[in-house]
Structure 1
Amino acid sequence: MAARVARRGRTVISGRLGALALRVIPAAFILVFFLWPLGALLRRAVEVRSDEGIGELLRRTNALDLLGFTVFQAAVSTLLAMLVAAPIVWLIARVDIPGSLLLTVVVTVPFVLPTVVVGVAFRALLDGPLAMLGDASGLWPILLAHAFLNVAVIARVVGAAWRSLDPRLAEAAQTLGAGRMRAFVDITVPRLLPAVGAAAALVFLFCSTSFGVIIILGNGEIRTLETEIYTQAISYFQIPEAVALSMLQIVVVVAALLLTRLFSDPGESAAPSSTASAVDTRFRPHGMQWLPVSAALAWVAAVLVGPIAVLVVRSVRPGADGEWTLAGYRSLGESVNGVTPLESLRYSLGTAALAMVIALVVGVLAAVAMHRATGFWAAAGNVVTTIPLGISAVTLGFGYLIVLSTLPTQLATSSLVIPCVQALIAIPVVVRIAVPALASVSVRLRQAAASLGAGPLRVFVTVDLPLIGRTLCAAGGFAFVMALGEFGATSFLARADTTTLPVLIGSALNRPGAENLATAMAASVVLVAVTTLAVAVVEVFRPRTGALI
């Protein structure tokens, strides 16, 4: 009896320690790597020159004009992305065709591509097959690139919601005399509006903090809050001006996040019924049904595959003379700013793998804590773990510059800095994937294991982990590709020995000469290949339900 009591006491103590660790570890990580840099920015904003307030600094940098244009281009990009994604949403949600896994990979890859690679791809497209438009840089190329990047968000969020709808309501409307189009407009569209709103808010958030695309395609003429922070901090070293713009950028991000949260709980209208979730309501096309399906597939090929295909061709035919050459790929072993692209690729893969491990550990702990929490703490955890997904990477990178300048050299130059920054950006995706997976595990299985004497940790390892293992593999894959392509914050922190491949591509594009352009395109193709392979692995392991984010 005494031994049983002692064992039960140890189980209770270990359970309490485990519950404490679930909260402390993620909170400490977010405090150090997210709130500390932002706090340093806020403190610097208070300590601006005594004779100049933030209002004067904002006026000097034309902040209101920058804000207006940032919001304008994000709104137009969102609208264009919705239009581009509409046929693809229908294809994913309603049609069951052979090769659906390949289609999902094709739709997903643009979202996780490094933004600098997307910029290079659209430069190749607009300087090549679409050169007759005479508009290789400027607003329209940026809008098109943003639409290309964010199609996956709309297709997968709205597509998953559409696929989960109970079709019986629309079928009942048709039996009462409504045509197929009227049933769609009156029954299906209202139930999809929350998902559409959530996807649009996310796309607006991503476009308002876009950096790599605007840097590459803006040609120095297009300025947003994001790019101006970088210019003021790095090019002009005007720290007070950059801090003031960062504060304004944070306001924009918070507003966009509030819009995202407003639409993120679609309620009953988008909730899948048990019947809808158990039955695949997609149709297999036959006969004349192949006409709209073929048109949608052609649209996917033109919109999503076309820019990448042009990039691949231009990597071996970079010059206007039309000569085919592998010079760009041979130059991957040659130095660019003191480091070769192959060395940067090895470093990028290593840091992305380490960032993936960090994001999985912290993200899963946070997901378990949120799953077990209720009320205020559950809502607070959701908000805190979502904010890093939308915060400006340039603002975050600038905050790191301020923090690292105050630390000892050994800490400031630690090899863990860049992986931790990359992991911070990937953690929200891990949490958003892991929380629904944990919620899908039967409570009775956990209770049965606990009644047999298993502690919380053993319950998680023996019950939860085997059931959500595939989901965690998918979450890790997404964390890897997001870390691999991170450009904004890393561009602030990279040194000669810590240059990631996206940062090196940006450096090569800023150097004159056809050789540097060929190197940038070849390195971009390598990144596309690695990213596509990673996404394919993710899709193999990912459960067939749920959205990307």
Structure 2
Amino acid sequence: MSGSTPGHARSHRAERVALPLLGGLTALLLVVLLYYPVGTVLAEAFAPEGSVSLAPVLDVLADPFYHDLFAFTAWQAFLSTLASLALGLPGAYALARFEFRGRETLQSLTAVPFVLPSIMVAVGFVATFGREGPVNDLLRFLGLPTVDLVFTLPLVVVAHAFYNAPLVTRIVAAAWESVDGRAVETARSLGASPRKAFLDVVAPQLYAAVLTSALLTFIFTFMSFPIVLALGGFELATVEVWLYAKVQNLELTEAAALAVLETVVSLALTYGYLRYERAQARGARTVSPLPRQSLRVLDAKRLALLLYAGVVVVVFALPILSMLVASVQGPDGLTLDYYAFLLRRQTTGLAFQTKPLPAVRNTLLFGVGTLLLAVPMGIVLALASNREGPLARLLGTAVMLPFAVSGVVIGIGLLEGLVFGIELFGTRLRVGGPLAIVAAHAVAAYPFVVRNVAPLLADLDRAFSESARALGATRVRALVDVELPLIAPGIAAGAAFAFAISVGEFDSTIILAEGSSAYTIPIAVERYLTDRTLGPATAMGTILLVVTAGSFVVIDRLGGAYRG
């Protein structure tokens, strides 16, 4: 017994330093993988030739071309936000106010578009609204003129709504379900009509959620890259697309100046989003939720919802179905030629050509690496930010930096830092491109782990961990044995999102995989798409869909179902 006492004491000391050590390691990773790379890129705008100068940023500010570029970027984001609200708010109303078979399944499916790879969705929209797509086929059948929406602003806006309308639905539906039904009943008992009760009681409680979802949508569409690049091209270039073009042309100083201004705008938007989200969370207290209605009785309101369901099918289901069909549809009917092309490319293609199996292998390996890095980082940051006070709020904002920084900028920073190497004590330290890609994916993914874990930590009953501590457990033991099992569904959901984000990540990967064999499935899709042959792109997009959906389901089932 006495011999075990020193070992027991050493174990306690080790556990006492474990959390601070883990926190310090996470902070170091953030500096190395995020803050330093981003800082070096942005610094190039102020020190283009080694001397401090504001000239590059001032030149961009003074250039009328960039005024128009930022104005167009904000305009398309504004239109995309309106389209997302118009498509998402009726869905929130249906989920929050009506009871029907499959409602919970439908609510879970609202998370699916958000984790679908954007380049795959772009291919689906090209297949749907292109000259030979089903929309034009229907117009020909009806004897109407065909339309070519590819490389037009309306198609970019609708594609953005595909991604962000489900986000609006989830956020607003959650707020709607937290409305106190007794307040509505009180208003009705005092003579208010249903419309008056909604405007005076329900609507004010939804404003914060609507504004939060609108701000988040605007941020995502302002920073959108693959959708605009694939569906708009340089004819409809946004700041992000133009930034990528500058990098491709090796105009790095001008690119850095552009990145500085874009980051300032996106950081301001992100701060506003986080502020309103906190206000919404503080006000979300469900006392007596509104009773849901049945959809069985057909009236004008329910008929409108049926028409809305038809629009949802066209916007959400048709692009995916069109991509699947286009992958097996040739000029002469059903065919597997496009998949055969991929097999030929794999077996007989030249070394420099894009092959499918390396793309699949790299995608899965990078996804696993992202999980190993992003999930622990997300848990530690969620624990650190789950405290009261201004420091915790500042940390909560700082960890969301990847939401506000261009993926292209992160890719450039990692390329110039980790890949090209950092001079340290006379030795140049560098890592390979694949490790840099994993780092970029982890940076993009860990905020989703934080967003899934932090709310569960905030709602956790502290009595459980306090009881464990009272019985002699260390802080680490209480965390591992008590807290982590209770928040396991959030960890599993964060892991599923992290893996899906890695599988579909495009912005930084296209920078880091340039000229190497470390390309992923989204990069392969984009390369096949640029050949102007939609068939191989849709076949590769189908493979990407299978990998994404399969991986998401496996991780979600292993760890527990996601609950938003």
| TM-score, length-scaled by structure 2 | 0.88
Q: Which moved more, 1:392-401 or 1:477-486?
A: 392-401
SS at 2:211's partner residue? helix
Q: Which residue of the other structure, out of 496, 518, 536, is the alignment partner of 1:498?
A: 518
How far residue 258 of structure 1 moved from its aligned partner, in angstroms, is 2.0
Q: Distance in 2 between matches of 1:535 and 1:297?
A: 25
1:355 maps to 2:370: yes
- 1:240-269 Cα offsets, whole Å, 9 max, x none, are 111111111111211211221231123588
Taking a change above 3 Å as real, the CA distance of residues 271 and 385 of structure 1, as seen in their structure-2 partners, is: same
Matched-pair contact (CA < 8 Å) for 2:129–2:150: yes
| Cα shift at 1:509 | 1.2
Structure 2 distance, partners of 1:25, 1:534, is: 28
Q: 1:63 aligns with which of 61, 66, 77?
A: 66
CA distance in 2, matches of 1:411, 1:125: 44
Q: After TM superposition, list the pairs within 5 Å mapping 1:212-291 onto structure 2.
A: 212-234=226-248, 236-267=249-280, 270-276=283-289, 281-288=291-298, 291=303
What is the aligned partner in structure 1 of residue 142 from structure 2? none
Indicate conservation of the 8 Å contact 2:208/2:279, yes or no. Answer: yes
Cα distance, 1:491–1:197 mapped onto 2, change above 3 Å: same
CA-CA distance at 1:47 after TM superposition = 2.1
Q: Is the 8 A contact 1:195 1:270 kept in 2?
A: no
**Range moving further from structure 2, 61-70 or 73-82:** 61-70
Alignment CA distance shift 1:141-1:477 (3 Å): same
Q: Deviations over 1:367-395 (max 9, x none)?
A: 12222x33122112201111112321112
**2:532 maps to 1:525:** no
The equivalent of 1:510 in structure 2 is 530
Question: Which residue of the partner structure matches residue 325 of structure 1?
Answer: 335
Aligned AA (2:273):
T
Shift of residue 359, structure 1, vs aligned partner: 1.0
**Matched residue SS, 1:244:** helix
Shift in Å, 1:69: 1.0
Letter in 1 for 2:19: A
CA distance in 1, matches of 2:491, 2:162: 27
User: Residues 387, 362 of structure 1: CA spacing in aligned structure 2 closer, same or farther, 3 A cutoff?
Assistant: same
Q: What amino acid is the match of 2:321?
A: A
Aligned partners of 2:56 and 2:253 also within 8 Å? no
> Which amino acid letter does the alignment assign opposite residue 326 of structure 1?
L
Q: Which amino acid aligns with 1:302?
A: V
Distance 1:488 1:35 in 2: 17
Q: How does 1:280-429 map to 2 (within 5 A)?
A: 281-288=291-298, 291-318=303-330, 321=331, 323-333=333-343, 334-335=345-346, 337-371=352-386, 373-403=387-417, 404-407=419-422, 411-413=430-432, 415-429=434-448
Which piece of structure 1 moves more, 285-294 or 202-211?
A: 285-294
* 1:357 positional shift: 2.2
Q: Which amino acid aligns with 2:371?
A: M
1:443 maps to 2:462: yes
Letter in 1 for 2:233: N
Deviations 1:77-106 (A, max 9, x none): 111110011221112222232223442354
Equivalent position to 1:100, from 99, 103, 110: 103
Cα separation, partners in 2 of 1:66 and 1:484, compared to 1, 3 Å: same
CA distance in 2, matches of 1:152, 1:330: 35
1:396 shift after superposition: 1.5
Aligned-pair distance for 1:542? 5.6
Aligned-partner residue type, residue 530 of structure 1: V
CA distance in structure 2 between the aligned counterparts of 1:259 and 1:433, rounded to whole angstroms: 20
8 A Cα contact 1:367 1:431, kept in partner: yes
Change (3 A) 1:5 1:463: same
**Percentage identity across paired residues of the two chains:** 29
> What whole-Å deviation, never above 9, does each CA across 1:371-426 have from its counterpart, x for those lacking one?
2x331221122011111123211121122232232448873315322112101111
In the superposition, relative to structure 1, how do residues 395 and 79 fare at CA in structure 2: closer, same or farther (>3 Å)? same
- Residue from 171, 185, 191 that aligns with 1:177: 191
Letter in 2 for 1:362: M
Residue 287 of structure 1 aligns to a residue whose secondary structure is coil
* Uncovered stretches (5+) of structure 1, i.e. residues with no partner: none
